[in-house]
Amino acid sequence: MKKKIIEQSVLFISVLKWFTISSFIGVVVGGVTTLFLYMLMWSTKAMGNWSLYFLLVPVGFFVSSMLTTCFCPEAEGHGTEQVIEAVHQRAGKINPMVVPIKLLATLVTLTTGGAAGKEGPCAQIGAGVSSLFADLFRVNDLERKKLVICGISAGFAAVFGTPIAGAIFGVEVLAIGQLQYAVLFPSFVAGIMAYQTSSAFGITYFHHLLHFSHNFNELFFSEVSLIGIACGLCSFLFVEMMTFFHHFSEKIKIWKPYRGLIGGLLVLTTVLVSSRYLGLGLTTIEQSLNGTYVSPWYDFLLKMFATAATLGFGGSGGIVTPIFFIGSTFGSFLATIMGLDHSVLAALGLVGLLSGCANTPISASIMAMELFGTDIGPYAAVVCVISFVLTGHRSVYPSQILSMQKSDSLSIELGGVIEDVEAEYHPKHSHT
C-alpha cells in the first residue's frame, strides 16, 4: 500500500509540474506566434498595395538567404525539418538566434511573394523559445526534448487554430510509425494554451464546417478510397519535386544568396499563368473549401513548382500551408472529374496531402474534424491512412526516423533517418 501511495504521489507531482511548465510554454509561444502573424499580415498588406510587388521575389530570396547564411544557418528551409533534426541529433538544443532570424527571413520571403507557409517558422520559433527556457533552467536532455516538442505543438496549434491536431502533430512528426507518448500530456496543454492565447489576441482561423451525410455503400466507400490513392500519388510527386530542387540547388556552386536570385526567377515564371501561386495562397485555399473556386488541373502542379523552388533556393518559410493549397486545389480538380462536391473533396485533399507528405495520418485526421466538423471524420481517416501508406518511405521532413515498414513485402532498413536510409524496394521472398 505504501508503494502505491508513493507511486501516485510521484505521478501527481509530475502531472502538476508539466502542467505548469507546458502552460507557460503555450502562453509564451502563443504570444510570439501572434506577434509574428500580425507582423506578417501588416507587411503583406502593405506590399500588396503595389500591383507589381512580385518583381521583388528574387530580391526577397537573396535577402532571406543572406540573413540565414550570415547569421544563423539553422534558420534555413521550412523550419519544422530543422527542429526534428535538433531533437534527434542535438537533444533539442537550438541556437537562440533562430528565433529572430527565422522571423525576419520568413517575413521577407512571404512579403515579397515567396511560395511558402507560416507554420514552419512558428514551430521553429516555438521550439527555439522552449530550448532557450531549457538553457535558463538547466534541465537535462530528456526534459529539453519534451520542452522543444511542446514548442512544436504550441506553434502548430496557434497558427492553424487546431489545438488537438497541433498537439498530436508535435509527437507524431518526429518518427514514422511511432508516437512519443511520454510527451503527449504536456503537448496537449501547450497546444491548447497557445491556441487560446492567440485567439484572445484576435487571431482568426479558416474553420469551415461541412454538413453532409452519406449512407454507407460500396460505391461511395470506393470513391473515398480512390481519393486516398490519388492523394498518396500526389504526395509522392510533391516530395520527389522538393528533393529534386534541393539537390539541384546544391549542385550550383555559388554563394547561397545568389542561388536565391535564381530561385526567385524560377518562381516568377508562374506569374505568367497567375499570381495566385505566390505567397501563402490563403484566398485560393478558402475559395476551394467554400466551393466558389473550381481548380484547373495545373493549379496544384504550379504550386508544387513554386514551393519547391522557394524552399530549395534560399527562401524561408513553412511547407504545410503550401500543402494545404496543393491538397485543396487537387481535391477540387478531382471533384470535377468524379462529379462530387467540390468543398468536400477540397477538404479531403487538404488533409490527405498533409498526411502523405508529413507522414502524420493521425493528426491530419483529427485536423479534418477540427477544421471541417465531425461529419467528415470517417472519410478523412480513410483518405489520410491510404495517402500515408502510398507515399512510401519518404517525407518532406527527411530527418524523420523510420520506425516502421509500410508493407511487410518490402525490405526496408529501419531505425535511421529517411534521408540516410537506403531502402531496397524489392519483394520479400517467403519459403514454405
Mean pLDDT, rounded, for 55-84: 85
Is residue 426 predicted with pLDDT exceeding 50? no
Residue 115's SS3 state is coil
DSSP 56: G
Residue 301: C-alpha distances to residues 204, 235, 331 (Å): 29, 11, 13
* β-bridge mates for residue 117, sequence order: 318
What is the number of other CB atoms lying within 10 angstroms of the CB of residue 315? 33
Is residue 377 predicted with pLDDT exceeding 80? yes
3-25 residue pLDDT tens: 778 888 888 898 999 999 999 99
Q: What does the pLDDT read at residue 355?
A: 97
Confidence band for 407, pLDDT divided at 50, 70 and 90: confident
Is residue 429 predicted with pLDDT exceeding 50? no
Is residue 397 predicted with pLDDT exceeding 70? yes
Confidence band for 216, pLDDT divided at 50, 70 and 90: low
Please report, as a single letter, which amino acid is at residue 378: P
Average pLDDT, the chain: 88
What gap in Å lies between CA 251 and CA 51, rounded to an integer?
34
- Lowest mean pLDDT of 42-56, 109-123, 240-254, 371-385, name the range: 42-56
- Strands (E) located in 174-268: 175-176
Q: What does the pLDDT read at residue 24?
A: 93
The C-alpha cell at 407 is 508493407
What gap in Å lies between CA 269 and CA 275, rounded to an integer?
10
Most confident of 57-61, 123-127, 301-305: 301-305
- Lowest mean pLDDT of 97-101, 207-211, 220-224, 382-386, name the range: 207-211
Bigger pLDDT: 132 vs 75 = 132
* β-bridge mates for residue 411, sequence order: 424
Strand-pair category, 410-411 with 424-427: antiparallel
Q: 139, 221, 233: which is closest to 186 by C-alpha? A: 139
End-to-end CA distance of the chain: 53
- Confirm if 343 and 331 have CB atoms less than 8 A apart: no
Q: What does the pLDDT read at residue 202?
A: 84
Q: What does the pLDDT read at residue 224?
A: 92
Residues 6+ apart with CB under 8 A from 169: 152, 153, 156, 358, 360, 363, 367
Q: 90, 85, 126, 125: which is closest to 105 by C-alpha? A: 125
Domains and CATH numbers, the chain: 10-200 (1.10.3080.10), 218-390 (1.10.3080.10)
Mean pLDDT, rounded, for 232-255: 94
Length of the chain: 432
Residue 46 burial by Cβ neighbours in a 10 Å radius (0-12, 13-18, 19+) = exposed
What is the number of other CB atoms lying within 10 angstroms of the CB of residue 3? 7
Is residue 57 predicted with pLDDT exceeding 50? yes
Is residue 391 predicted with pLDDT exceeding 90? yes
What gap in Å lies between CA 126 and CA 170, rounded to an integer?
11
- Confirm if 166 and 194 have CB atoms less than 8 A apart: yes
pTM of the entire predicted model: 0.93
Radius of gyration of the chain (CA): 21
Residue 188 burial by Cβ neighbours in a 10 Å radius (0-12, 13-18, 19+) = buried
Mean pLDDT, rounded, for 289-295: 89
Q: What does the pLDDT read at residue 177?
A: 85
Q: What does the pLDDT read at residue 215?
A: 62
Please report, as a single letter, which amino acid is at residue 273: V
Mean pLDDT, rounded, for 315-320: 88
Find the angle CA(324)-CA(243)-CA(409) to the nearest 5 degrees: 90
